[in-house]
Amino acid sequence: MKTNQINIKKAIAKGETSLGIEFGSTRIKAVLIDDRFEPIASGSYEWENRLEDDFWTYNLVDIITGLQTAYSEMKQEVERNYGITIRTIGSIGFSAMMHGYMAFDKTGELLVPFRTWRNTTTSIAAKELTDLFQFNIPERWSIAHLYQAILNEEKHLSRVDYITTLAGFIHWLLTGRKVIGIGDASGMFPIDESTKNYNGTMIKQFDEKIADKEFSWKLQDILPKVYNGGEQAGTLTEIGAKILDRSRNLQPGIPLCPPEGDAGTGMVATNSVRKRTGNVSVGTSVFSMIVLEKGLSKVYPEIDLVTTPSGSPVAMVHANNCSSDLNAWLGLFREFSEAMGQKLESNQLFEVMLNKALEADPDGGGLLSYGYFSGENITGLEKGRPLFVRSPESNFNLANFMRTHLFTAFGALKIGMDILTKKENVAIDGILAHGGLFKTPIVGQKIIAAAMNVPVSVMATAGEGGAWGMAILASYMKNKDQNVSLEDFLDKKVFEDVNGMEIYPDGMDVKGFEEFIERYKKGLAIEEAAVANLIL
């Protein structure tokens, strides 16, 4: 056994490791790291949300099965590679898709199926609360879901004892603690930067607004307690250990850091928690996070104000749709290649098809696409219809087809980012990008650099994603010195020797994207017509 393997085996045995498990929109991933922040082993579970009774949801069976499968795969990889069974871990953290609504009664029963961030059923509530607070409350936020349920007079509200996010639920299940990290909390209810807690004035405003309903609860009482990055937020209980590790090898008592949202873990995974930095996370949805030097001049419905895991203010532009339609088209091309007797590996298919976009006309040849599997708040659509349109004069070829689908994946994001950069003059020194799209080098970076007109970097660690970022937060809790900030911990310990590739925006690409986005905005009427008339 090599020296490094021996050292890793010792680290595993002594519990000098950290584990991050993140519940993404299409995959649950577990990543175990050593004390040098290097991944030791990983495991995953593929899943999909379902539209049930007009709500996008994941059921509890899939949530628990996915948690256990991702952990089990990671554990088995450790056993195969290092010949040791995991019995303890230095620290653990859970993260998940932000926002949404999970409501429980006093017995812990889930009162309605989990309502995810993807639902756009809360537009009335979001608008009323935005007007009330004079603070943008997006449709995805937990408080919007709660208030919409109140407006709809849903029967379960009288029984509500606790509401939380998916990450908060997993943490509660395994520790018994009703807590949440400040970054995830900032997607439930507005945060007061000075107190690092929910905004007390807005809590009072909400309670006063619903006073006539005479519920037995007050809002503060049913929200999880807010913790900052670096604080310990509980320990793994005996029951929690049995749930996480079906083989019953894992021992209880392991410290857990605050559960976080995928936005926060994305910031950590890309070392973009300092002011004037930002990151873009690409998946089923896409969002950018820009750490602000100062507040915005006004309320914008397209811009969420959330926080880093250490509580710094962040402008978040979140688009519900990104890669789903692109993936669907690539699936169609895979079917064609298989029908021709050519079986391609996924990486090969993506690399060949995405690289075609580099051969395209700068604006995509006049083609137009909307990858709207669901509604899109930035462009004001409550529902979506994936759509591809062209005129007889368009330059219809494979290169332009691929470039158009990459452009449109970031179309709604571009509209939101233009508000920050063109209206608010927010300074951005650089963007760090992460997500599966960047496993194919250069292409995704060039497209995002064109959309935002700022340098875009991808680090060698980008493929590890949010689960790795969550493991870093767990390690920060365990290893930080008393006065070391998260920013310094990342700069001086985690990323000191990490290499990244930076791409500056190409002038022709920038001009091409600007032409495309004007076509995109004008064509929204076509998408609206499809939503109104394409009903199956």
Contact indicator for 289, 443 with CB cutoff of 8 Å:
no
CA pair distance 141, 118, nearest whole angstrom? 10
The pLDDT value given to residue 482: 67
CA pair distance 459, 141, nearest whole angstrom? 30
- Decide if pLDDT at 5 tops 90: no
Q: Per-residue confidence at 294, pLDDT binned at 50, 70, 90?
A: confident
Domain spans in the chain, listed from the N-terminal domain onward: 324-409+508-533
Determine what percent of the chain is predicted with pLDDT higher than 90: 81
Helix runs in 98-246, H state only: 123-133, 142-151, 166-175, 182-185, 200-209, 219-222, 238-244
The pLDDT value given to residue 54: 87
The pLDDT value given to residue 41: 96
- Decide if pLDDT at 101 tops 60: yes
- Decide if pLDDT at 445 tops 70: yes
- Decide if pLDDT at 462 tops 60: no
Q: Per-residue confidence at 261, pLDDT binned at 50, 70, 90?
A: very high
CB atoms within 10 A of CB 106: 9
Least confident of 7-16, 174-183, 279-288, 412-421: 279-288
Higher pLDDT, 402 or 382: 402
Q: Per-residue confidence at 3, pLDDT binned at 50, 70, 90?
A: low
- pLDDT tens digit sequence for 188-237: 999 998 899 999 999 999 999 999 999 999 999 999 999 999 999 999 99
Across the range 100-111, mean pLDDT stands at 97
The pLDDT value given to residue 436: 79
- Decide if pLDDT at 463 tops 60: no
Q: What are phi and psi of 57, to 5 degrees?
A: -150, 165
The pLDDT value given to residue 461: 60
Residues whose CB is less than 8 angstroms from the CB of residue 530 and which lie 6 or more positions away in sequence, other chains included = 385, 387
Higher pLDDT, 84 or 436: 84
The pLDDT value given to residue 58: 95
Q: Per-residue confidence at 500, pLDDT binned at 50, 70, 90?
A: confident
Enumerate the β-bridge partners of residue 226.
180
The pLDDT value given to residue 403: 98
DSSP character string of 382-449: SS---EEE--TTS--SHHHHHHHHHHHHTHHHHHHHHIIIIIS----SEEEEEEGGGGSTTHHHHHHH
The pLDDT value given to residue 535: 83
Instruction: Report residue 386 as tokens.
Output: 């994936």
CA pair distance 98, 393, nearest whole angstrom? 43
The pLDDT value given to residue 287: 85
Nearest to 90 by CA among 462, 482, 473: 473
Determine what percent of the chain is predicted with pLDDT higher than 70: 98
Contact indicator for 111, 162 with CB cutoff of 8 Å:
no
The pLDDT value given to residue 399: 98
Mean pLDDT, rounded, of the chain: 93
CA pair distance 185, 350, nearest whole angstrom? 36
Instruction: Give the C-alpha distances (Å, rounded to integers) separating 140 from 122, 127, 192, 427.
Output: 8, 12, 20, 27
- Decide if pLDDT at 464 tops 70: no
Q: What are phi and psi of 510, to 5 degrees?
A: -60, -50
CA pair distance 295, 314, nearest whole angstrom? 9
Nearest to 114 by CA among 63, 76, 159, 78: 63
Higher pLDDT, 328 or 346: 328
Instruction: Give the C-alpha distances (Å, rounded to integers) separating 130 from 209, 302, 319, 434, 437.
Output: 13, 12, 19, 31, 34
Instruction: Report residue 334 as tokens.
Output: 């895979």
pTM: 0.82
Instruction: Find the angle CA(162)-CA(57)-CA(100) to the nearest 5 degrees.
Output: 45
- pLDDT tens digit sequence for 350-359: 999 999 999 9
